Chains A and B, each alone.
Chain A
Amino acid sequence: MTLWKSMLFKKSTLLMFLLMPLLVFFVVVPLFDQTVEDLQVAVHVVDPYEQTAVHELIEKMDNPEPFNVQLQDELDLQSLARGEVEAIFVVEDQLAKKVQDGDVAELFTWYRYDNSLVDGLFKEYMASTLMEDIVRKEAANLVVDEMHTVDWQEVYDYSSRYFEPEPLFQMNYESYRESTNHSEGSEALYPLLLIWGYIWLLMIYLTSFIEHWRDKQLIERLSIYRYGQVKLYGSWFIITTVSVSLLITIIVMFSSWFNPESLGLTNLPKLVIISFVSALLLLMLSILLRSRQAFLAVTLSYLIVAVALFMLVDWQILESNWWSGLFIPFWLG
């Protein structure tokens, strides 16, 4: 208990322990929320003249995924600057008449931000929908000009069949996804990877106590007593694993409460086990590598290499092999 107080009731230790929940609450949980929201890319279509043709155009587009099309009557460029909207399309007055007359220059003004990425897809989709209408109306105009007896609307309706032709043959379509590690499941492992990285860094910090005890000849002094060293190392291991496991439990429970999709409770045993293994590995390294510099070089390199390999395997750049078992992040899967 006294050693427990000595290790944990220290300003720097408390700060290190508090950083973790803060990291989860301010980075991991919002990341999940944002990811879910970001699946829908917001696009504004601004029509200050409230035209029926614009309503019809949007209805024809049938709210295509992943776009969330919102019809507005005022231009709000601030929402674009804040990144809330991917792009804004402002419609000119008398859209229907202009299309019917074949006056198709500058029907829309397209506003986009430097960071806008996928708005070009929406533009193409909207243009193709509009183009269909323009072509049909242009065709109807031509026919009526040549044959004055025919009805414009009849020709216009008739022309739709050329955009929806009867298929000459049909083809079966089946989606195929290669069975790899990279899936929605592996993306859910990234917060766990982040937490393991933090656990690893936190434990590296906690090994500084062992370093300090060694420098101060405390470990040497304790070797006089029966199992003195073993008891000290054992105490460090127990204090470290119990406190880190407790912290992880609190974090996982709270984050599950706030957002069940972030860190599932089912991941808790996995995280506790890797905490124990990490602590054991770091303790052994701390005993073997007596120099702090060597210890930091090895442990930080392990962290970087483990995370990098995990990502490379996840992105299918590298194949998982027997060696992946040597790196703790691979145990998260």
Chain B
Amino acid sequence: MLELQNINYVKKNKEILNKITAGVERGESICLFGPNGAGKSTLLKIMASLIKPTSGKCEISLSTPKTVGYIPQQIALFPNMSVKDHLKYYQKLTKQKDQAFINEMSSALDLNSIMNKKVEELSGGMARKLNLAVGVIHRPEMIFLDEAFVGVDLAFKHDMLTWLNKLNNQGVTIVFVSHDWHVIYNLAKTMWVLQDGKLMDQFLIKDISKREMDYQSEDSALKKMFALRKFDYEKNGN
């Protein structure tokens, strides 16, 4: 579905991504994992065709062109526009006519109770839910999420994860960046580990216990991040 061949990305003479080659199959759910500055967001943007790589190829094959959804790290919403107006605006922009899907999504993300509220009146968690809703309103085949769960409480996180898992089970491919182990365990099937612009490792999430051992001997950020896995996961009540 998506092929990355020898992807390099250089910005201001700094190498952000270095020879990344990988592939994404339909219906997969991949977490891009790694420390800050590893190149996760840049790789996600290249995969979503938002930016072009300096060299290499990123080929995406979808049934209809441009049916990808992108949920940025920021809450990319119009501050004084209501929730209802946002849905209406993106529905019109994407020419989405499947009102049943929008109703189902609004209900799953519990947006109906805040329809008339403006974005500036919403809490961070509610705004994140709307941020997700407008990003997937056109029912994309592939969704890219860049730390879309930051500042979201467990109840709202549950709504978002349930909805994304439902889409994933319907065959929608999900690629996301997150440091939140709760999100990773509940959404990812596969993990790509990045460090210093290089794709270090790819493995199934169920194999994480075995693979994280590889990083135990290293004195790196990754070692600390994996060490936090149990703490975060247990803290969130799993």
Q: Which of B73, B79, B89, B138 contacts A217 (CB 8 A)?
A: B73
Write out the residue numbers on chain A whose beta carbons fall within 8 Å of the beta carbon of B48: 224
The verdict on A176 contacting chain B, using a C-beta distance below 8 Å, is: no
For chain B, residues 31 to 75, give those with C-beta under 8 angstroms from any C-beta of chain A. Answer: 45, 48-50, 65-66, 68-75
Most central of A3, A9, A212 by chain B CB within 10 Å: A3
Are A224 and B93 touching (Cβ within 8 A)? no
Whether B66 lies near A226 (C-beta < 8 A) is: yes
B94 / chain A contacts, CB cutoff of 8 Å: 225
User: What is the distance, in angstroms, from A223's C-beta to the closest C-beta of chain B?
Assistant: 6
Partner of A216, one of B45, B66, B75: B75
Please pick, from B68, B76, B85, the residue contacting A5 in the complex, using a CB distance under 8 A: B85
Contacts of A212 in B (CB 8 A): 79
For B77, B78, B81, the residue with the greatest tally of chain A CB atoms inside 10 Å of its CB is B78
A3 touches B76 (CB 8 A): no
Partner of A224, one of B69, B86, B88: B69
Interface assignment of B135: CB less than 8 Å from any CB of chain A = yes
Asked if B74 contacts A216 (CB within 8 A), the reply is yes
Q: Which residue of B lies closest to A11 (CB)?
A: B80
Q: A221's contact among B49, B76, B79, B80, by CB below 8 Å, is which?
A: B76
Chain A: CB-nearest residue to B135: A221
CB within 8 Å for A220 and B78 given contacts A225-B93, A225-B94, A228-B93: no
Nearest A residue (CB) for B138: A225
- Give chain B residues whose Cβ lies under 8 Å from the Cβ of A35: none
A163 to chain B, nearest CB (A): 79
Q: Which of A213, A216, A217 has the most CB of B within 10 A?
A: A217
Q: Is the CB of A217 within 8 A of B69?
A: no
A residues in contact with B138, CB < 8 Å: 225
**Cβ-based interface call for A98 (8 A):** no
CB-CB under 8 A for A220 and B66, given A2-B81, A2-B88, A228-B93: no
From 215 to 232 in chain B, residues with beta carbon under 8 angstroms from any chain A beta carbon are none
**CB distance A221 to B70 under 8 Å?**
yes
| CB-based contact B85/A217 at 8 Å | no
CA of A221 to CA of B73, assembled, Å: 10
Interface digits, A155-174 against B, CB 8 Å rule (1 contact, 0 not)?
Answer: 00000000000000000000
A6 to B85, Cβ gap below 8 A?
yes
* Most chain A CB within a 10 A radius of its CB, from B68, B76, B86: B76
Interface of chain A residues 244 through 269 with chain B (CB within 8 A): none
Least distance between B151 CB and chain A CB atoms (Å): 15
Instruction: Please name all residues of chain A whose beta carbon is closer than 8 Å to the beta carbon of B81 when the two chains form the complex.
Output: 2-3, 5-6
Contacts of B72 in A (CB 8 A): 217, 220-221
Cα(A226)–Cα(B140), bound, Å? 13
Tell me whether A231 is interfacial, beta carbon within 8 Å.
yes
**Chain A residue, CB-CB nearest to B84:** A2
Residue A218 CB within 8 A of the other chain: yes
| Per-residue contact bits, chain A 4-45, to B (CB 8 Å; 1 contact, 0 not) | 011001100000000000000000000000000000000000
Smallest distance from the beta carbon of A238 to chain B beta carbons, Å? 15
A61: Cβ under 8 A from any B Cβ: no
Residues A3 and B69 in contact in the complex (CB < 8 Å), given A223-B50, A228-B93: no
Report the minimal beta-carbon distance from B44 to chain A, rounded to whole angstroms. Answer: 12
A10 vs B80: C-alpha distance when bound (angstroms):
8
Whether a CB of chain B sits under 8 angstroms from the CB of A222 is: yes
Q: Which residues of B contact A231 (CB under 8 A)?
A: 93
Interchain CA distance A220-B146 in the complex, whole Å = 12
Q: Which of A204-222 contact B (CB under 8 A)?
A: 212-213, 215-218, 220-222
A10 to B66, CA, bound (A): 33
The answer to whether B135 and A6 have CB atoms under 8 Å apart is no
B68 and A220 contact, CB distance less than 8 A: no
Q: With A2-B81, A5-B85, A6-B85 known to touch, is A222 a contact of B50 (CB < 8 Å)?
A: no
B residues near A223, Cβ cutoff 8 Å: 50
Q: How far is the CA of A226 from the CA of B94 in the complex (A)?
A: 8
Chain B contacts with A in 108-138, Cβ cutoff 8 A: 135, 138
- Select from chain A the residue with minimum beta-carbon distance to B86: A2
* Interface residue from A10, A217, A222 paired with B74 (Cβ < 8 Å): A217
Which of A2, A218, A220, A226 is B85 in contact with, Cβ under 8 Å? A2
Chain B residues with CB under 8 Å of A3's CB are 78, 81, 89
Jot down 9 A-B pairs with beta carbons below 8 A, ordered by A: A3-B78, A6-B81, A218-B78, A220-B76, A221-B71, A224-B66, A224-B69, A225-B93, A226-B65
| 9 interchain residue pairs of minimum CB distance | A217-B72, A2-B85, A6-B81, A217-B74, A218-B76, A217-B76, A221-B76, A6-B78, A2-B89
Given contacts A220-B45, A224-B49, list 6 more A-B pairs with CB under 8 A.
Answer: A2-B86, A3-B81, A6-B79, A9-B80, A220-B50, A225-B93
Interface residues of chain A, those whose CB is within 8 Å of chain B, are: 2-3, 5-6, 9-10, 212-213, 215-218, 220-226, 228, 231
